[in-house]
C-alpha cells in the first residue's frame, strides 16, 4: 500500500510503498476513504507537536473509511461498517490500523470526506465552548483564526448555542467564509484593531483562540470582567505570556483545551460531544466546510495549503 511516511526523526515525510498493516489486539483495520489534515500534522513533521509519535510513523490524525479486518479480541464494528476514527497518526495511507474503541459509526448521509473533516474540528470547538467555557446564550464570542479548521466550526457552533459571534480572520475572502458560517461581525486581522473593534461592540465574554501571539494579547484586553479565554493552539508560532495580576483585576479565566488529551482522561466528554454533533449533522444544523480535496500523491501540496494559509475550513486527502 502507499503511505505518506516519516521514516526517522527530523526526516521529511515521503510517499512510498509500505507493508499492509495487520491489526493487533484492540485494533481494527480500515480501507481509508479520506483523511482530514490538521495544523498538528505540520507540527509533527518538525517534531514540535506535544504528541508526535516516535519515528517511523505515517502522518494523518483523523480518518474515515470501511472496516476491513478486526484484531484479536475485537468483536466490532463489523467488517464492511463505515466509521471515522481519531487515531493520532496513520491516516495518510491507503489502509491503517486504529483503536477499535475510538471508531464512530457513520450515518449513511455522511460522506467519507465530511467524516474525515468532522471529529477534531467540531469536537474541539463543541467541547471548548460547551464543556470548558460554558458559553451562554446572549454572550459575545470572539473567534480568532475564524476561517481555519477549528475556528470556522467555533463560529458555527457558537451561533447555534445562541451567542453573538465576532469572527477575526485575514482578508476579505476568509471573512466572507466566516460570515457565511454565521458570524454577526467580522474583523480583518490584517488591517483592523481587534481590541478597538471588540470594545466598540461592548467587549467579549468568551475568546476562542487557536492563533496566540499578538491576536491573543489584543483579545485579552478586549475581554469583559469574568470573561473566559480558551487557548486552543498557537498557529502564529508565539505562545502568549499572561500576567496573573491582570487576571485578578478583571476576574478572568484562561482555559486550555486539548481535545485529544481528553480522550485519555475524560473520554466520556468526547463521546457525548460527538453524539450531539452527529445528531446536529443528520439534522442539517452543521456541515463541514472543506476547501480542498486532494489525492494521496498530492499530500505534500495539501500540507502546504495549511502551511501557507491558503485554505479555509478543512483540507482532506483521499487515498
Q: What angle do CA 60, 124, 90 make, to 5 degrees?
A: 15
125 and 256 in a single domain? The answer is yes
Is residue 125 a part of any domain in this protein?
yes
What is the tally of structural domains in the chain?
A: 2
273 is a domain residue = no
CA nearest neighbour of 128 among 91, 107, 158, 149? 158
The answer to whether residue 264 scores a pLDDT higher than 90 is: no
pLDDT digits (tens, 9 = 90+) for 211-229: 999 999 999 999 999 999 9
> Are 188 and 136 members of one domain?
yes
Asked whether residue 111 is domain-assigned, the answer is yes
* pLDDT tens digits for range 141-199: 999 999 999 999 999 999 999 999 999 999 999 999 999 999 999 999 999 999 999 99
Residue-level pLDDT at 169: 97
Residue 263 has pLDDT above 90, yes or no: no
59 and 42 within one domain: yes
Domain membership flag for residue 281 = no
Q: Are 217 and 242 in contact (CB under 8 A)?
A: no
How far apart CA 161 and CA 146 sit, in angstroms, is 17
Tell whether 147 and 247 lie within a shared domain: yes
- 274 within domain boundaries: no
Are 245 and 171 found together in one domain? yes
Give domain status of residue 203, yes or no: yes
Q: Are 127 and 41 in the same domain? A: no
Query: pLDDT tens-digit profile of 226-260?
Result: 999 999 999 999 999 998 999 999 999 999 999 98
CATH number, domain containing residue 11: 3.90.180.10
Computed over every residue of the chain, the mean pLDDT equals 95
Query: Is 245 in the same domain as 146?
Result: yes
Structural domain of 228: 121-260
pLDDT of residue 252: 97
Are 116 and 82 a contacting pair, CB within 8 Å? no
* Residue whose C-alpha cell reads 474525515 in the numeric block: 116
Inform me whether the pLDDT recorded for 51 exceeds 90.
Answer: no
164: domain CATH number is: 3.40.50.720
Q: Is the pLDDT of residue 208 over 90?
A: yes
**Domain assignment of residue 270, yes or no:** no
Rounded-to-integer distance, Cα 249 and Cα 245, Å: 6
**Percent of the chain whose predicted confidence (pLDDT) is above 90:** 92
Contact in structure between 302 and 125 (CB atoms under 8 Å): no
Nearest to 213 by CA among 242, 188, 191, 186: 242
Same domain, 134 and 238: yes
Identify whether residues 14 and 44 lie together within a single domain: yes
| Whether residue 146 sits in one domain with residue 253 | yes
Q: What is the pLDDT of residue 245?
A: 93
Label residue 47 by pLDDT band (50, 70, 90).
Answer: confident
Please report whether residue 28 resides in a domain.
yes
Question: Residue 6 is inside which H or E element, if any?
Answer: strand 2-6
- Determine the Cα angle at 90 with ends 86 and 96, to 5°: 95
pLDDT mean over 113-125: 97
Determine whether 265 is exposed, middle or buried from the number of CB atoms within 10 Å of its CB (0-12, 13-18, 19+): exposed
Question: Cβ distance 204 to 239 under 8 Å?
Answer: no
Structural domain ending residue among the three candidates 243, 260, 277: 260
Q: What is the DSSP letter of 207?
A: E
17 has pLDDT over 90: yes
Q: Quick one: 20 and 87 in the same domain?
A: yes
pLDDT given at position 10: 78
CA atoms within 13 A on the CB side of 234: 13
Amino acid at each position: 500500500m502507499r503511505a505518506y511516511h516519516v521514516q526517522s526523526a527530523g526526516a521529511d515525510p515521503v510517499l512510498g510503498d509500505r507493508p499492509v498493516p495487520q491489526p493487533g489486539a484492540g485494533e481494527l483495520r480500515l480501507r481509508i476513504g479520506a483523511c482530514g489534515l490538521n495544523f498538528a500534522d505540520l507540527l509533527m513533521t518538525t517534531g514540535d507537536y506535544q504528541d508526535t509519535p516516535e519515528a517511523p510513523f505515517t502522518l494523518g490524525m483523523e480518518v474515515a473509511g470501511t472496516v476491513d479486518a478486526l484484531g484479536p479480541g475485537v468483536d466490532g464494528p463489523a467488517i464492511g461498517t463505515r466509521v471515522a476514527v481519531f487515531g493520532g497518526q496513520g491516516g495518510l495511507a491507503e489502509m491503517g490500523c486504529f483503536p477499535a474503541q475510538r471508531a464512530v459509526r457513520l450515518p449513511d448521509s455522511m460522506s467519507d470526506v465530511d467524516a474525515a473533516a468532522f471529529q477534531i474540528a467540531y469536537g474541539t470547538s463543541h467541547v471548548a465552548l460547551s464543556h470548558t467555557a460554558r458559553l451562554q446564550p446572549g454572550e459575545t464570542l470572539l473567534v480568532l483564526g475564524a476561517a481555519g479548521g477549528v475556528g470556522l466550526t467555533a463560529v458555527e457552533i457558537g451561533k447555534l448555542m445562541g451567542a453573538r459571534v465576532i469572527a477575526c480572520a485575514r482578508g476579505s475572502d476568509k471573512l466572507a467564509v466566516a460570515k457565511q458560517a454565521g458570524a454577526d461581525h467580522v474583523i480583518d486581522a490584517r488591517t483592523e484593531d481587534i481590541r478597538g473593534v471588540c470594545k466598540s461592540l461592548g467587549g467579549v465574554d468568551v475568546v476562542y483562540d487557536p492563533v496566540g501571539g499578538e491576536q491573543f494579547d489584543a483579545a485579552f484586553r478586549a475581554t469583559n470582567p469574568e470573561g473566559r479565554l480558551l487557548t486552543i493552539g498557537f498557529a502564529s508560532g508565539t505562545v502568549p505570556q499572561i500576567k496573573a495580576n491582570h487576571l485578578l483585576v478583571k476576574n478572568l479565566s484562561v482555559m486550555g483545551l486539548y481535545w485529544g488529551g481528553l480522550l485519555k482522561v475524560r473520554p466520556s466528554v468526547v463521546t457525548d460531544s460527538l453524539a450531539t454533533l452527529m445528531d446536529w449533522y443528520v439534522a442539517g444544523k452543521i456541515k463541514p466546510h472543506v476547501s480542498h480535496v486532494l489525492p494521496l500523491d498530492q499530500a505534500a501540496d495539501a500540507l502546504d495549503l495549511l502551511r501557507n494559509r491558503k485554505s479555509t475550513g478543512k483540507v482532506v486527502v483521499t487515498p
